[in-house]
Amino acid sequence: MFENIKYFFDSRKYKKLIFCQKWLLMSGMLLLLLLFYNFYKDVLILLGTNEYFYSLSYKF
């Protein structure tokens, strides 16, 4: 009887852990995506400004 109760609580804890892991994984992936997006946005802006400056220098 006690083992059943113990198993029940352990399974609940385990489910909670899986739930937390899923949320951590999801939030981690979202954070990584945001970081990469910001990084690549900056890189693209830099590339764009470089091309813009090159085009200006070619005009002059």
* The pTM of the whole model exceeds 0.85: no
Q: Which domain holds residue 9?
A: 1-60
Count Cα atoms within 13 angstroms, Cβ side, for 42: 5
pLDDT of residue 23: 83
Q: Tokens 């939030």 — which residue? A: 27
- Running DSSP on this structure, what letter comes out for residue 7? H
The model's pLDDT over 4-40, given as tens digits with 9 standing for 90+, comes to 666 666 777 777 777 778 888 888 899 998 888 878 7
For residue 48, the Cα-to-chain-centroid distance in whole angstroms is: 26
- Per the listing, tokens 């764009």 go with 48
Number of domains in the chain: 1
